[in-house]
Structure formats: C-alpha cells, structure tokens
Structure 1
Amino acid sequence: MCVTIKIDEIICSRRKTLALQINSEGKLIVRAPYRMHQSFIEQFISQKKEWILAKQAQAITRHQSRQTLKHRYLPGEKFRFLGHDYPLCLVVASKEGKTRLAKKLRLCDQGFLMLEQYQHQAKKLFVEWYQNEAQVFFENQVKAYAEKHQLTYREIKVGHARKRWGSCSSQKNLNFSWRLMMAPIEVIDYVIVHELAHLAHLNHSAAFWYQVKQMMPDYAVHRQWLKSYGHQLELLE
C-alpha cells in the first residue's frame, strides 16, 4: 500500500539546505531555502519516507503518553522522585488551623504530604520542592564525581530547561534541569558525568565519549533510558 506523506508546514528562509522536522504532535515541518522547487521537496520527502513515518509514530506515541501523565493533584495520585512513585496525601488542619506539618509540602514514608488549603498551589509547590531537592542533590553528587576524577568546575545552577537535561559552559559552569529529580539516581548520575566530561571536551568527539565511559562504563544504558522515558519527567496539567 502506498502511503502519502502530508506536509503540515513549509518554512522558507535564507538557509542553503533542506531540512525535515517532526514536532511533538507528529506533524511534518519542512524548512527550505527560498525559491526551492516543490518537486525537489517532494522528491526529498519520498526518499526520507521511512524515516518520517518512524519519527511520526514515535512522536504520536509520546504525545499520547504525555496526555495520560497529566496531574490533577488529587489524593492518592502518584509523583515520582529518584525513580520511585509516591502518593499524594492531603493533610487537613484543625479548626484552629493547627497541624503537625511544618511545611506546605514534604516527603515522608507515607508519600508526599500537602496541606489541603494549599492544593490550589500544588504545581507551584511541587516545582519549588523539586528545585530545592535538586540543588542539594547536584551539589553533593557533582562534588563527589569531580573529586573522584580530579575535575574542577565553577558553579552549579538548577533551572527549568525542558529540552536539555544539563549543560556545561566554556566558563565551567554546570546547569541541570530540576526535572531530573524524577529519574532514577543512576540516570541522573549519567547526566552529571556527561556534563563533567564537557569540562575537558566541549564537544561530542570520540575523546569526549571515551572519558564518559571511563567515568561510567554502563553510561549507554542510562542514556537510552533518558531517550525512552525522558518525556515522562514532567509535571503536566
């Protein structure tokens, strides 16, 4: 059966090459130079048909998965921390407004405890909680790995990055996404190792990957985990 590839959008610019992009919903976006003939674009798409269909199927599956991951911040709903799921428990204060819960949100053996009156701020509280945990976690883990492998860095920052789990600047500053706190520790450690290796190699050369492997021999397993499940490390509404 012949499958027709639908072009959802064509963006023309001063670029010199033709490029194809599959967005998060599986739509095909073509980026082409000005005045490029339509027949050339169609021929190029025909040559890349298998790649397009595979990427679209992957994007649609991820998009559907994200829809099922949406949070409503209700009692019993599970939230992930360091690769484990914990249920949300709402704590009701007494008529006098007293409660043993010192913080608006905290994690204990029972799960995440949140004061009921702050349920409308749930996402904000979770983001702040993950950020605080991430800052402490990364400072400790990065220091341990850096000392072990005799690497030096300047500063560690935790941010909201969605498309990059971590980064390393030429000034040796390290940045990490708080969303990583939902992943297993081994996966987070891989990102740390990846960015520390950039202190010596600001590229993805063979030398860079050799250093990553020296620091974490099984890094490929954790790298693949991020590729397969990284889209789940999110607080969706």
Structure 2
Amino acid sequence: MSARRKGDISYQVVRSRRATADIIIERNGQVLVRAPESIPDERIEDMIEAKRYWIYQNLAEWRDLNATRVLREYRNGEGFLYLGRSYRLMLVSEQSEPLLLKNGRFCLRRDLVDEGAIEAAKAAFREYYINRGIERITQRVNYYAPKVGVVPRDVDIRELGNRWASCSPNGNLAFHWKCIMAPQTIVDYIVVHELCHFYYLDHTDAFWNEVDKVIPSYRERKEWLRVNGAGLDV
C-alpha cells in the first residue's frame, strides 16, 4: 500500500492481481484505490481526477454518517449490541468470566471498570464477540458455501481495521469481530459477499450477480451496513 496525493485529495493505492481498478471510501474515511499491478501511476491519477466530484460527495456523506457514531459508556444501563439486538449492561462484583450475556443483560465484572481500565472492559467485549463470532459465523459459512459453490479452507474472527471481512487467495476467510454485533441478515450478507469473492476479486456486475443469486435482497442489506456500520463498536 502506498500513500499518494492529487491536489487536495489524499489516497492510498493497493495493487493486486485484480483485473480492473476502482475507488472506495473506507470506513475510516480514507480514499482507497484498488488497482491491477500493471496499471501505471498516471492512469490512477486520471481516475482520481475523473472521480473528484464523486469522492467529494462520498466523503461528505461519510462525515454525516459518522457524526451519529455511538459513544458507549461502561455503566449500568448502557446498551451493547449482539446480533442486532441491544442488551443493557450490568456491572457485577462476583463473576468468574470478564463478560457474560445472561438473563437478557451483558454482565461485566465491575473491577474492569472500577480500576479505570476502560481498555480492559473493551477487550472483554472484543473477546466475547470473537468467541461468539467463531461459532456463529463459521456456521453461516458452512451453510452458504455450498449455495455459492465454493469450499473455504478456514474461518477466522479478528480485528480487520476498516474492512468487514477478507478473502485470501488460498481460500481463508477472516471477519471483523464487529460483524457479530449486526443483525443475522447482515451477517449473512457479509458471509455471502466474501464467498462470492472466490469467483471475482473485484466488485464488477459479474460479482454482484453471484451475490444476487444467493441473496436477492443484498442491496437493502448493503445499504443497512453503509448507514449503520459506524454504530457497530464498543
């Protein structure tokens, strides 16, 4: 990945074995150009210039969406998401596990907050989502892989920065731990999206055709993720 600038637009370039180039706005507001290895730098600069108005529009929209980002506090009654549903937080004193979901509430060990170590409380949520995600998302991958007609090798749940998921050339799938905060229908969309990348690495019409075969309502789910994705955080 290399950092570039064209006038007032800063962007990153990622080259791969893909056939075509495109421009996306990452979830952190970064402009990313995904390009074939053979495309010259001048062509990429021409793309940025040609898409300048589109980039301005999408960055403005990104700022509007992220203005409503939810800042959660680790106190009794705060809501935390799991599979699209909000569960109230309850701080507890006696509990062996750092975090449990029981009786309709997220029960977090009080000492993680009392010590002022908010990072420890966040880590407890991340670990919880990773553990639940391994089970739930692997199950959905196993369900949808035959429908897509592919055979993935491995499924991992981890921190992926600004990506919801990734598909490696050797067939390994990785999903951001935040995915498990979304409703099941959105999790399914993300799973099918990545499985279809086994056929196409880019987002051409042919790729979306494959997604449409399995999830005809993918446009609504894609839009939900675009609008609500900033709220999937701890």
Q: TM-score with structure 2 length normalisation?
A: 0.73
Q: Hey, what's the Cα distance between the residues in 1 that align with 2:30 and 2:206?
A: 36
Secondary structure of 1:192's aligned partner: helix
Deviations along 1:176-201, one digit per CA (max 9) or x if unpaired, are 10111111110110010011111222
Q: Contact 1:170/1:202 (CA < 8 Å) preserved in 2?
A: no
Q: Aligned letter for 1:86?
A: Y
Which residue number in structure 1 is paired with residue 64 of structure 2?
61
Unaligned stretches of 5+ residues in structure 1: 1-6, 13-19, 35-43, 94-100
CA distance in 2, matches of 1:151, 1:24: 28
Pairing of 1:129-168 with structure 2 (within 5 A): 129-168=128-167
Relative distance call for 1:23 and 1:211 in structure 2 (3 A) is closer
Worse-superposed segment, 195-204 or 166-175: 195-204
Residues 96-115 of structure 1 deviation map (CA, whole Å, 9 limit, x = unaligned): xxxxx342211123310112
Structure 1 equivalent of residue 75 of structure 2: 74
Closer/same/farther in 2, CA of residues 22 and 221 from structure 1, 3 Å limit: closer
What is the deviation of 1:233?
1.1
Q: 1:127 to 1:221 in 2, by over 3 A?
A: same
Quote the offset at 1:58 in angstroms.
2.0
Q: Summarize the Cα distance change of 1:175–1:26 in structure 2 as closer, same or farther, 3 Å threshold.
A: closer
Match for 2:104 among 107, 110, 121?
Answer: 110
Could you tell me how far 1:118 is from its partner in structure 2?
2.2
Q: 1:157 to 1:22 in 2, by over 3 A?
A: closer
Equivalenced residues, count: 198
Where do 5+ consecutive residues of structure 2 fail to align?
Answer: 1-5, 12-22, 32-40, 43-48
1:76 Cα offset (Å)? 0.6
Q: Based on CA coordinates, which of the two structures has the bigger radius of gyration?
A: 1
Mapped partners of 1:190, 1:21: distance in 2: 19
Q: What secondary structure does 2:68 align onto?
A: helix
Task: Determine the structure 1 residue equivalent to 2:125.
Answer: 126
Q: Does 1:221 align with 2:220?
A: yes
1:168 touches 1:174 (CA, 8 Å); kept in 2?
A: yes
Corresponding residue number in structure 2 for 1:212? 211
Give the structure 1 partner of residue 194 of structure 2: 195
Distance across 2 between alignment mates of 1:50 and 1:61 = 15
How far did residue 80 of structure 1 move?
A: 0.6
Distance in 2 between residues matched to 1:70 and 1:84, nearest whole Å? 17
* Structure 1 length-normalised TM: 0.72
One-letter amino acid of the structure 2 residue matched with residue 112 of structure 1:
F
User: Please, what is the CA RMSD of the aligned residues?
Assistant: 3.2
Cα-to-partner distance string for 1:64-119 (whole Å, 9 max, x where unaligned)? 212xx1222111111011111001001123xxxxxxx3422111233101121222
Determine if contact 1:134/1:181 at 8 Å carries over to the other structure: yes
Q: State the shift of 1:173 in Å.
A: 0.9
In structure 1, the partner of 2:87 is 86
Q: Which residue of 2 aligns with 1:4?
A: none
